[in-house]
Amino acid sequence: MSGEISVVGLLLEAGIIVQAVMLLLAGMSIVSWAMIFQRRKVLKQAVTEAKRFEDKFWSGIDLSKLYSEVSARGQVTGLEALFKGGFKEFVRLHKNSSRQPSAVMEGSQRAMRVGLSREVERLETHLPFLATVGSISPYIGLFGTVWGIMNSFIALGSVQQATLNMVAPGIAEALIATAMGLFAAIPAVIAYNRFSHQVELLESSYVNFVEEFANILHRQAVSSTGEAA
């Protein structure tokens, strides 16, 4: 208990600059933890929804019926958004009998590429902030440490005889800034690496779906053209 009280005392007795550094690091840590929990929830939900939609898509359901079900839900994300955008563009272009299958497929794939870009951007929200916290927090903490130690040595220059009791508090309060910088940086770096890997896996899954769905639409476009001929 005494150790905890002494640490609190050091924080309260620290210089203005060191206190400002500690407050900044504490704020960055709180915000990054909030983003970590939020991103974890979003990515977990994205994985669950992707698996559920793929199971339904490959179950043999009629694409028009699946499109109606997806459209009825209004705002959709993930694979549902890619499917909705691609199939909507396919139907719109396919209604024009003068359109060649290649033109129909080009429009559908373009719509799905735009949707893919938006989905990846949505999944990567807040990741740059976590990367920034992970990279700059140790340096901010180091700045507070250097500043605190510098002030401690400046204060020593004004006394005749220096003792450990005079030096220790200043150095201890300065080192707390480094510890807080690491406390803010380590979880942010771990979360960033983990979330980036999950986003890469989801993006790969989305790309594979777009390619497979495009092949299905291409077969439909070619067969419809053959029947019309």
Q: Which helix (H) or strand (E) holds 207?
A: helix 164-228
What string of DSSP letters covers 178-190?
Answer: HHHHHHHHHHHHH
What pLDDT sits at residue 167?
65
Give the Å distances, CA to CA, from 201 to 51, 114, 206: 13, 19, 9
Who has greater pLDDT, 55 or 2?
A: 55
What pLDDT sits at residue 1?
40
What pLDDT sits at residue 17?
82
Q: Assign 12 a pLDDT band (cuts: 50, 70, 90).
A: low
What pLDDT sits at residue 172?
75
Q: What is the mean pLDDT of residues 54-61?
A: 91
Q: What is the mean pLDDT of residues 68-95?
A: 89
- Closest to 36 (Cα-Cα) out of 174, 213, 192: 192
pLDDT tens for each residue of 107-157: 899 999 999 999 999 999 999 999 999 999 999 999 988 888 887 777 676
Give the Å distances, CA to CA, from 196 to 71, 137, 193, 200, 202: 30, 20, 5, 6, 10
Q: Assign 208 a pLDDT band (cuts: 50, 70, 90).
A: very high
Q: Exposed, middle or buried: residue 58 (CB in 10 Å: 0-12, 13-18, 19+)?
A: exposed
Q: How many Cα atoms occupy the beta-carbon half-sphere of 136 within 13 Å?
A: 12
- Residue 229: is its pLDDT beyond 50? no
Cβ atoms of residues 36 and 192 within 8 Å = no
- Residue 6: is its pLDDT beyond 60? no
Distance CA 127, CA 132 (A): 9
**Mean pLDDT over each residue of the chain, to the nearest integer:** 85
Sequence letter at residue 4: E
Residue 65, token pair as written in the block: 């019926």
What pLDDT sits at residue 4?
45
- Residue 71: is its pLDDT beyond 70? yes
Which of the residue ranges 81-90, 171-180, 183-192, 200-209 would you say has the lowest mean pLDDT?
Answer: 171-180
What pLDDT sits at residue 112?
94
pLDDT tens for each residue of 16-27: 888 888 889 999
Q: What is the mean pLDDT of residues 145-172?
A: 71
Percent of the chain with pLDDT over 90: 54
- Residue 98: is its pLDDT beyond 80? no
Residue 180, token pair as written in the block: 């807080």
pTM of the predicted protein model: 0.82
